Amino acid sequence: MAFDSRKQTWAIWYFIAAVLGVLLLQQAWSTYQQTETIPYSEFEKLVADKQVSEVVIGSDMIQGELKTPKSTGVSKFVTARVDPTLADKLSAEGIKVTGAPSSGVLSWIFAWIIPALLFYLLWVFLFRGFAEKQGLGGLMTIGKSHAKVYVETDTKVTFKDVAGVDEAKFELQEVVSFLRDPKSFGRLGARAPKGILLVGPPGTGKTLLARAVAGEAGVAFFSISGSEFVEMFVGVGAARVRDLFEQARKAAPCIIFIDELDALGRSRSVGGIGGVDEKEQTLNQLLAELDGFDPSIGVILLAATNRPEILDPALLRAGRFDRQVLVDRPDRIGRSEILKVHARKIVLDPAVDLDQIAGMTTGFTGADLANLVNEAAVIATRRKSAATTAADFTAAIERVIAGIEKKSRILSAPERRRVAYHEMGHALVAATLPDVDPVLKVSIIPRGVGALGYTIQRPTEDRFVLAASELRHRITVLLGGRAAESLLFDGDISTGAADDLQRATDIALEMTTLYGMAQTVGQRTYRASPQFFLDQAQSRDKPAASEATLREIDVSVRDIVSEAFIEARDILKRRRADLDKGAELLLEKEAITAEDFPPIQKTPPKQAPQLPHARSA
């Protein structure tokens, strides 16, 4: 749990203020009611000396006031009542005598009621407002929804601000039409979907798309995260769901948007206790609300998740979330449109070709592209440029992919030479093999956590299906650095290829266990497909197979990697002269492109040499 120093500081100051308030009230009351307790015998002497001006006789106490204050400045006194005929004696002495109530109501009010009232007012006007902003509103608000409510003027987002997801925008146009004119939309008996689930990888713009729907329709927009429903107290989440839908019905037409629905709608388990029961009660209440509300009143439920496979089936059935809209990573055209949207916010050099940059950012999401544009503008600002240029975007791509430059990491001369040959090995193998992305830049400048050098390849097009030969070529390129070291240093390899070996092993393992591309293992899979949008390294999990089959899988993976290493070594033997020249140039300049060293340019397909193992299946 994170520690919030601001809340702690506020609690300390509130405690200090409360203590000071009590002390000041007690001091004021004691000053106002400054009395001295005296013995009854002294009281009789004061009466005899005619020093008493008046007394108040109670059932067991006598309070009085002197005509002349004592030397201590005290003029009021109190003593125990002893003589029951005292009133007659005092009257005979000419002293004013009155009676007192049986209980000190005034004293009780000043001691308890007024301080309590002051503390309550302090809470109402100061602390409670702060606590509600911090989510500490107290037990009376624990079942209230924490949804943030936006209206059209607050969202300020329309479909013009969302690019690269044209299919998703087209699907959601119907929702906008229904919210604008429900009667016209339902003239043929059609009804709007109760719920729409936006699914896709993180950063693709699901939340932005939901806000754009509200901005286009001009209706209230209730935004809340799925995790905000779940609390440690059982029943709180269900109460918040009820309160959210009740607020939405009052504000209809409106949109309810639940982000990260998987935190709330995970598949229910059997025999859960504690927090699991709370989540299941919250989910059950959400299911009941989806069944109970009428979409014709103008309430639309939008939700977003990047893990649809773990959602409860009851949540995804027709009549609840009627429609699923895929918000996937943008293609090249989509990336170009997204770059144009974000480039409007910076000063861009007219010579910058955003379409070319879109071709260099295959696999980037909308959030990645927004970050890329910002990084490019930061780099341009740092070098005091008047506008953001293409070189700034290239540097930003390197920053995002490879990490920040480690100028403090000084390599020795032998290490720099080894790294130069390693990176040039990658580049030359990539330039030689077909179906491999061309090399954009080679560098031996350390970056990131452990990269001593890097080779950046530029995809020429988006790929959705890869052949077995293409995967083998990717493994060969990954092993080009290890092959160059082995060739130059007579088999004395280093630890610098650890990441290359891991990635090559992952690809070979997926070819064998997931894609059925190994003849020795057969046309079947031995592990579940990777989760939809999380890009997790499933290849590192142990395959579900017998011990004999696991050995065949190990042998197959070893053979694939070994054949790729032999192929990479053969390529570099043929191009040894280019390897030496490229490494020397890299040691001199530290970073080179294909224009600086033409041998790493892509070999035209008609001139590609026929290499052994290139077509092995």
pLDDT tens-digit map of 352-368: 999 989 888 888 888 99
What backbone phi and psi angles, to 5 degrees, belong to 585? -65, -35
- For residue 593, give the nearest of 578, 580, 584, 582 by alpha carbon: 582
End-to-end CA distance of the chain: 52
Among the listed residues 423, 510, 563, 567, the single catalytic one is 423
pTM (2 decimals)?
Answer: 0.69
| Cα three-residue angle 226-227-233, rounded to 5 degrees | 120
Q: Out of 111-125, 271-285, 487-501, 529-543, which region has the weakest mean confidence (pLDDT)? A: 529-543
| Cα three-residue angle 389-395-396, rounded to 5 degrees | 90
What backbone phi and psi angles, to 5 degrees, belong to 439? -80, 135
**Rounded Cα distance, 52 and 43, in Å:** 9
Question: Mean pLDDT, to the nearest integer, of 406-423?
Answer: 85
CA 30 vs. chain centroid, Å, equals 56
Token pair 């004061």 is at which residue?
46
The confidence band for 217, taking pLDDT boundaries of 50, 70 and 90, is confident
What b-and-e string marks burial along 377-389, b requiring 16 or more CB atoms within 10 Å of the CB?
A: bebbeeeeeeebb
| Structural domains of the chain, with CATH | 5-106 (3.30.720.210), 148-326 (3.40.50.300), 332-402 (1.10.8.60), 413-607 (1.20.58.760)
What is the SS3 assignment for 303? Answer: strand
pLDDT of residue 541: 63
pLDDT digits (tens, 9 = 90+) for 19-30: 676 666 665 655
Does the annotation mark 423 as catalytic? yes
Q: Out of 8-22, 123-137, 406-420, 527-541, which region has the weakest mean confidence (pLDDT)? A: 123-137
Residue 600, pLDDT above cutoff 60: yes
Contact between 420 and 463 under an 8 Å Cβ cutoff? The reply is no
What b-and-e string marks burial along 141-152, b requiring 16 or more CB atoms within 10 Å of the CB?
A: eebebebeebeb
The contacts of residue 580 (CB under 8 Å, 6+ apart) are none
Residue 127, pLDDT above cutoff 90: no
Give the dihedral of Cα atoms 583, 586, 591, 592; nearest 10 deg.
-70
